[in-house]
Each structure stands twice: as structure tokens, then as C-alpha cells.
Amino acid sequence: MKANDPTLKSWVEVPANSDFPIQNIPFGIGFREDGAPRVVSRIGDMVIDLRALWILGYLENLPFVMEDFDSKTLNKMMEKGKEGTRELRNRLSTLFSLDNDDLSKKEHHIPQILLSIDEVTMLMPVKIGDYTDFYSSEQHAYNVGCMFRDPDNALLPNWKHIPVGYHGRASSIVVSGTDFHRPKGQQKIEEDQPPVFGPCRLFDFELEMGFITYQGKPMGDSISTAEADDFIFGMCLFNDWSARDMQKWEYVPLGPFLAKSFASHVSPWIVTLDALEPFRVSGPVQDPKVLPYLEYSGDKHIDINLEVSITPENGQEKIVSNSNYRHMYWNMNQQLAHHASNGCNINAGDLMASGTISGPEEGMYGSMLEISWKGTKPVQMPDGSERKFIADNDTVTMRGFSEKDGVRVGFGEVTAKLLQAK
Amino acid sequence: MKANDPTLKSWVEVPANSDFPIQNIPFGIGFREDGAPRVVSRIGDMVIDLRALWILGYLENLPFVMEDFDSKTLNKMMEKGKEGTRELRNRLSTLFSLDNDDLSKKEHHIPQILLSIDEVTMLMPVKIGDYTDFYSSEQHAYNVGCMFRDPDNALLPNWKHIPVGYHGRASSIVVSGTDFHRPKGQQKIEEDQPPVFGPCRLFDFELEMGFITYQGKPMGDSISTAEADDFIFGMCLFNDWSARDMQKWEYVPLGPFLAKSFASHVSPWIVTLDALEPFRVSGPVQDPKVLPYLEYSGDKHIDINLEVSITPENGQEKIVSNSNYRHMYWNMNQQLAHHASNGCNINAGDLMASGTISGPEEGMYGSMLEISWKGTKPVQMPDGSERKFIADNDTVTMRGFSEKDGVRVGFGEVTAKLLQAK
């Protein structure tokens, strides 16, 4: 794919270590004070207004109408399917590459099309239909099993047979930068006392990646692991905030509910699966052998460096985790094939998240529960304070990027500040 | 409320034992071959076209525009909130009552407004945003606990403190009459053998009622039990199909997933909470005492007679359950208050279901799992065959109605035929 050629350069300046070289071309929804929300892309620190590109005729002979870009969500655009959005990314790559002057020579068009990132507010990119959260990092499942069950039988019997997942709440998924309140809920603090209701005491993040789907097949049909790539539009960073004390009391037997449904945050830029192809890597050997519908061929894991930091109010940022998306046991193809194996229909704009991504060593864990090992190993903060979990007014930031052959394709960040309980 | 007056009569004929007297005035989406989907109501066997009513001027001075009725979902109409839909129901009640001739005297208008139910296909009434399933019938939780755990500790420790619930899949909720296929999935048939993948062997229904919400408060805010009525539009019958073998293998620790997400069915008519007010009854004494945010006052349970039948292909219908919605332990006000207690935002068109409604005696259970007691007590069918669970080509039908003072307000039915696995 020419758009992924590592030698490609853009006539738009790209700062060193930017997540957004011309090899990325992510999609999002941007809003400028004097305009309406619309579909945008990004190179370096410049935002590309796709509605303006369409009006000025640069998106001709593509399967889109203006309403696809003059929209407050990416859903209409995604409804055109993989072929459409792939052609669109290729067109943007061509228009902004150094060896093409169709646009770069039209100096009066450029200010209508390119905006500085500082002028643009990024909004929630997708109207999410259904949201599913998987539980696909072996180290995370192992760590949780060790803490709450038995280190010798840390993984439950189904874990290596099923990409375990559950349905989550879509309405409260919000974009990076949206402040939110510490949730309240029931907790059983003393084993022999009745539960109490109040602000969560053990408030945690979960480092995850999400993928956004295209329209799938009709209800009743399944999707194979080989077909799965055709139904995945792109990926984002995902913070699956978790109220550990509420979760512990409520989750047996039907799973997490209010411990998660108060808020989750996504990064504003959806990086296409096409842009991530160069960073594919092989996954772990899966033993025991998976059932045929979960078998796959080729490299379906992706090398994405991930980090998490905590920044106290007016304080200094502290990196608390360095993980990588390649540490997943189950890949997206397996997750999607499993999800559709019972005939469940997938829509354009569904979000499926990885589950907490923990690497195999300390320092690579994706939640405070694991990092502080249930509060027994507090994190030392630069200001001398300690964190077992997340404190009021802390800002938690997750960043992620892939890098190879001198090209870095990244996601920017998902960041949010926890306000005190309302 | 005058619209609930039991002495009210309509100039539209209402057959004996109809679920749809003038005291009902439910809402749905209807489609006639020569038209487009639109909002409809019903009296007796006649469907009322609300778009036609609007065009002919009968809905003036109400807070609606034509697009609210010229729609393939009820969502736009519901976005007007309780006050708007209440005024609308009152207007319909007035227009169709025997003591008002504003419409009945305009003979040339009537054929544009009233259609025979036989001419109309009822569609999915609501675009469901998020779907939540509760687990609020004590007898059901007790029965399941007896079968799979310990009769002496059948209820889990959290059950009487929390209206336990979990998120479900919204995309595969379809309207009554939509045939569907037996799902395939992983099952662990022999304890000491690996799981297999294939058609579900233990296929079940769950008799439930659902309620549809109005737009709630902003994220971060809660809803009290006293406020809950203002955020509930109406109710429907709900069949939460369940693949018991798939559920057993997958559900620990994160809850039911593919055992439910292949399909669920709703009845096409949403009966407003206003229409159900006359049938309110008191609920059970809740002991232990619930936490203050779950306390409520007044009668918040509802007396709704429910039945379930199985009809084999070309066979005779067999009633397998007679239950009642009054048997719930937790009521809707408590469910909604709990759901929003952590700040989770509720949208117009969310669906919240009761969980299986089992009454206190045999014959009142709401699933085949309980009726056949895990397959140990098969149901005898009129054709001599037996049912432990649901067989291919069986049609399962659920019906429900309230009755008091000679007035019967009902839901019609939710029915669907299980086709063989694809």
C-alpha cells in the first residue's frame, strides 16, 4: 500500500516524534468555534477539514457525499465500508505528499482546508452503537487470578478456549479531555457488616485499546477470522475506568455493571487498520489449541507501545506503566470472529475493547490494581505522595504509538481528570 | 387521569377481551405496503396513523412536529419527554372517545387515519441505545441458585442489597414475528473433555417485561426512586432467549455474553406507564432493609398477568407458564435509581428488562430451565412429544395484560419461531 511507504514525505511540516506523519492519516471529528462539527484528518500539527476538501472538489470520484463529512460522527463515512475509507485515505495521502502539487499549489485553498490543531476541539469521533469489552491479556487475567483466587489456578478453565468478553455501557463513553466525577456506589467494606453507599474508594484505570467496526453481516451470519480485517475500521486508545470496590461487591454472577458504566474515555483519533499494517507481529503460541473457528493465519497482533501516567493537580507527571498491545493473547480477528460466531450482528460504529493490557513484567501492568498489587506496593509520586489507586483531581493519560523503519504512527493520547464525587 | 377512566368508551369498536381499549393508547411503529414507517397507536383492531392525524390538524397545540411521527422509531417522539407524550395520549383519548365528535363526524378523514391491524406490519418500535437486563425476580434467582449452587444459600450475598443487572447487546433486539436461528457456540459437554463448538443444545426462553426510558439527566447525576417515573415512557413484553449450555461455559467471571446476544424479541406496542397506573400494587417487604437510595414510597409494582406458550410446527399451542409481573422483588423505580446511582447517563430509547419473572409456585416459572427443572421434569406436549428445552421450529409466544374495574389493558404478544442452526 503506497500510503504506508516509509519514504513518503508530506509538504505539511511534521515535527520530530509526531504521531501523525503522512503514513498515519487518522480520522476524527473536529469543531472550530466558527463552524460545525465535521470529519477531519491530521498531518503533524495541522488538521485537515474533509468537508472543505469535498467542497473544493478534491474528493471527486470517491463513494462519498458531503453529508458523510458534514457530520458530527464518523458513522456515515464508515458505512461506506473498508473499500471506501481505504480509497479516501489513499487520496489524502496523495494530495498531501511532497511529490503531488494538486493542492499544495493552490495557495488560496490551503487556509480553508488546513487548520492548526490549537484552533480545533476534538469531539467524540463515533456514535457508538454497542460496546463490548474483552479480557484478552493473559498477564492481566493471571495477575487478577493470583490476587483474588489461587496463583496455581489463576486462569479460569474457559480463559484459553474463549476470548472472554462482556457487554458494556455505550452511553457514557466520552472523548479524551472530558472531566468526570468519582462514582458513588455500593461497597462491602467489612465482611461481616452490611454494604454501604458512597464514593468509590478504590478508583482505577484500565489501559486498553479499542477497535471500531464497519457494518457487519445480517443477524444469524458469522464472521471468520480471515474476514475480520474487512470489518475493522481502525483503533483508538481506551481507558476503561473501574471502581474496584463496587466491582467486587456487584459482579457475581452477572459481571461488572456500575463499576464501569459511569464513564470510559477514548482518544479522539481513529487510526485505520490499514495504517497499522506495517506494525503487525506474530502472537503467542496458543496452547491448548483453539477451536477451528478461532484459528487464524498470518501476523494478526500489532506492536503498539503504550504508556500510562498520573499527574496530580498542579503536580508533575509520573509514568506508571509501559506496556505493549503485542502482549495480547487473543487478537482482534479472534475477538470479532468469536463475537459473531453465534450470529450476533455487528454495526458500523460498534466499539470493542481489548481488556487491560498488561505486559509480562512489573512496570508493564495496565491497572493500579496490578501496579500497586492490591494496594500493597504504593507508587511513589514526585511530590512525595503515594498512590495505591487514583486520587481526586489526578489526571490519567495514556499514549500509544507504533514505530518501524523510521516511521512512527501513533494515537496521540487519551487523558481525563477525575473530579471529586458529586 | 381522565384517559384512564374505566367508564370511557370509544366510537371505535373494541372486541371483547381486546388488550387495546381506549384506556390503553399504546405506541408503536407501523408500516403499510403503500407507505413508509410511521408512529401509530391502536384501539381495538384499528391502527391509528399519527402522521395522518398530524397532517389533518388533529394534533395542533402539542409539542410535536411532523418528523416526530413520520419516523421509523419512537425515539424522536420520546425526546419530547413525559409531559409531551402524556398530552399526546390524552389528545388521542379525547379524539376517539364516544362523547367527542371532532373526528368521528369527519367521515372523509377516518379512512386516512384508521387502518385495520391486518393491513399493517408492526416494526421494531424503538432504536435502542443501551440495553440492560436485571435479575429482579426472587423466585427465579432462588430456583437458579437451588439448581446450580445450594438450596440453603440459593441467593448470593448481594442479591437483596442490589438490583443485580448487566449490560446486554442492543443490536440483536428485534420485533415480535422475526424468525431467527438457533445459535452456535462453545459448550463444555463432558467435564473432563475440551469444549466443542456447535448448535446450542439447551435452548431456552426467559419471560421478561422491559421498560423504555426518556432522556435522563447529564452524566454524573443520579435519579431518585421518586423521580424514576418521570424517566420511564412505557413497557413491553421481552423474550430474553438464552443458550443455557453456552452460558454455563462462558459466564464466569464476566457474565452472560454470546449466550444471549444472538437475538432478543420485544412486543411491538409500548404501553405507557400512565396507562398502567390503575394497576399499581404494593411490592414485597424488602428485608434486609435496602440502602436509602433504593427506598421508595407508594405502590410501585404492577399487576400484569403473563403467560408463555410453545407451539410446535403445525402443532397445537401449549401454555407452559402463568406468571405475573407483580412477583418482582425490585421494581422499576429501584432499578432505574440504581442504574443512575453512579452517574451513568440514560438516553431516550434505552431498554431495561426485568430478568426472568417467576412466580412463587410451579406453573408460574418463567424459563424452561425452571419449568423442566434442568431437564428432569419434561413438559408433555399435546402431540405426545416432550420438551425439556425449545426444539427447532417451535414458536414461543408471550402475552400479558392488566385487568381491573372491567378494563383490560394489555400488551398483545411477543412471538417468534426458532429456526434450525444455520
Domain range summary for chain B, segments of one domain joined by +: 2-123, 131-419
Burial track A335-352 (b if 16+ CB lie within 10 A, e otherwise): bbbbbbbbbbbbbbbbbb
Measured between CB atoms, which of B184, B249, B343 is closest to A342? B184
Mean pLDDT of chain A: 97
Residues B300, A134: Cα–Cα separation, whole Å = 37
Chain A residues whose CB is inside 8 A of the B347 CB are 171
Residue of B nearest to A157 (CA): B249
CATH top-level class of A131-419: alpha beta
* Tens digits of residue pLDDT in A42-87: 999 999 999 999 999 999 999 999 999 999 999 999 999 999 999 9
**Residues 216 to 275 of A: which have CB under 8 A from any B CB?**
219-222, 243, 246, 249-258, 261-263
What integer pLDDT is reported at residue B1 of this predicted model? 86
Q: Answer whether B162 sits within 8 Å of A250, measured CB to CB.
A: yes
Among B186, B222, B344, whose Cβ lies nearest the Cβ of A172? Answer: B344
Q: In a 10 Å sphere around its CB, with 0-12 CB exposed, 13-18 middle and 19+ buried, how is residue B70 labelled?
A: middle
| pLDDT at res. B379 | 98
Q: How far apart are CA A155 and CA A207, in angstroms?
A: 20
First and final CA of chain B: distance in angstroms?
50
pLDDT (tens digit, 9 = 90+) per residue, B357-370? 999 999 999 999 99
Q: What are all long-range contacts of B191-195, with beta carbons under 8 Å and residues at least 24 apart?
A: B194/A161, B194/A288, B195/A158, B195/A161, B195/A162, B195/A291, B195/B249
Q: Is the pLDDT of residue B12 over 90?
A: yes
Comparing CB atoms, the residue among B180, B342, B345 nearest residue A184 is B342
Establish if B288 touches chain A: CB-CB under 8 angstroms: yes
- Say which of B140, B327, B338, B339 is annotated catalytic: B140
pLDDT single digits (tens) B109-153 = 999 999 999 999 999 999 999 999 999 999 999 999 999 888 999
pLDDT at position A34 is 79
Q: What is the DSSP letter of A147?
A: H
- What gap in Å lies between CA B247 and CA B183, rounded to an integer? 12
**Average predicted confidence (pLDDT) for chain B:** 97
3-state helix, strand, coil in chain B (%, to 5): 20, 30, 50
CB–CB contact B171 A343 (8 Å):
no
Determine, for residues A342 and B246 on separate chains, whether the beta-carbon distance falls below 8 Å: yes
Q: For residue B251, what pLDDT is reported?
A: 96
What is the pTM (predicted TM-score) of this model?
0.98
A147/B contact by beta carbon, under 8 A: no
Mean pLDDT of B259-271: 98
Q: How far apart are the C-alpha atoms of A301 and A277, rounded to whole Å?
A: 10
CB contact under 8 A, A251 and B255: yes
Cβ contacts of B346 on chain A, cutoff 8 Å: 171
pLDDT in tens, A187-240: 999 999 999 999 999 999 999 999 999 999 999 999 999 999 999 999 999 999
Interface size, chain A vs chain B, as Cβ–Cβ contacts under 8 Å: 201
Distance, in Å, from the CA atom of B142 to the CA atom of B358, rounded to the nearest integer, reads 10
Interface contact A181-B220, CB threshold 8 A: yes
| Fold match between domain B2-123 and domain B131-419 | no
The mean pLDDT value for B330-341 works out to 98
Residue A327 bears catalytic tag: no
Whether A341 sits inside 8 A of B185 (CB atoms) is yes
**Domain B2-123 -> CATH class:** mainly beta
**pLDDT of residue B201 exceeding 90:** yes
Nearest CA in chain A to B134: A254
Report the pLDDT value the prediction gives residue B148, as an integer from 0 to 100.
Answer: 86
- What is the rounded (10 degree) CA torsion for B190, B395, B325, B375? -30
Between CA A91 and CA A97 the distance in angstroms is 10
Please write the tens of the pLDDT for every residue from B40-71.
999 999 999 999 999 999 999 999 999 999 99
Q: What is the mean pLDDT of residues B293-320?
A: 98
Please state, for a pLDDT cut of 90, what percent of chain B lies above it: 98
Pairwise CB contact (< 8 Å): A344 & B172: yes
Phi, psi of B96 (to 5 degrees): -100, 5
Closest-CA distance, B81 to chain A, in angstroms, reads: 18
pLDDT digits (tens, 9 = 90+) for B373-401: 999 999 999 999 999 999 999 999 999 99
Q: Which of residues 289-348 of A touch B (CB under 8 A)?
A: 291-293, 338-339, 341-347
Q: What does the pLDDT read at residue B402?
A: 98
Exposed / middle / buried, residue B32 (Cβ in 10 Å: 0-12, 13-18, 19+): middle
Q: Where are the alpha helices (DSSP H) in B180-262?
A: 244-250
Mutate to test the interface with A, among B257, B350, B352, B356 (most CBs of A within 10 A): B257
Nearest to A162 by CA among A371, A422, A337, A344: A337
pLDDT in tens, A255-314: 999 999 999 999 999 999 999 999 999 999 999 999 999 999 999 999 999 999 999 999
Residue B33's pLDDT is 83
Average pLDDT, integer, range A356-367: 97
pLDDT, mean of residues A391-397: 98
Q: What digits encode the pLDDT tens for the residues A106-136? A: 999 999 999 999 999 999 999 999 999 999 9
Q: What does the alpha-carbon distance between residue B134 and residue A360 come to, in Å, rounded to a whole number?
A: 37
Q: Which of A108, A109, A140, A327 is catalytic?
A: A140
The Cα B341–Cα B295 span in angstroms is 13
For residue B345, the chain A residues in CB contact (below 8 A) are 171-172
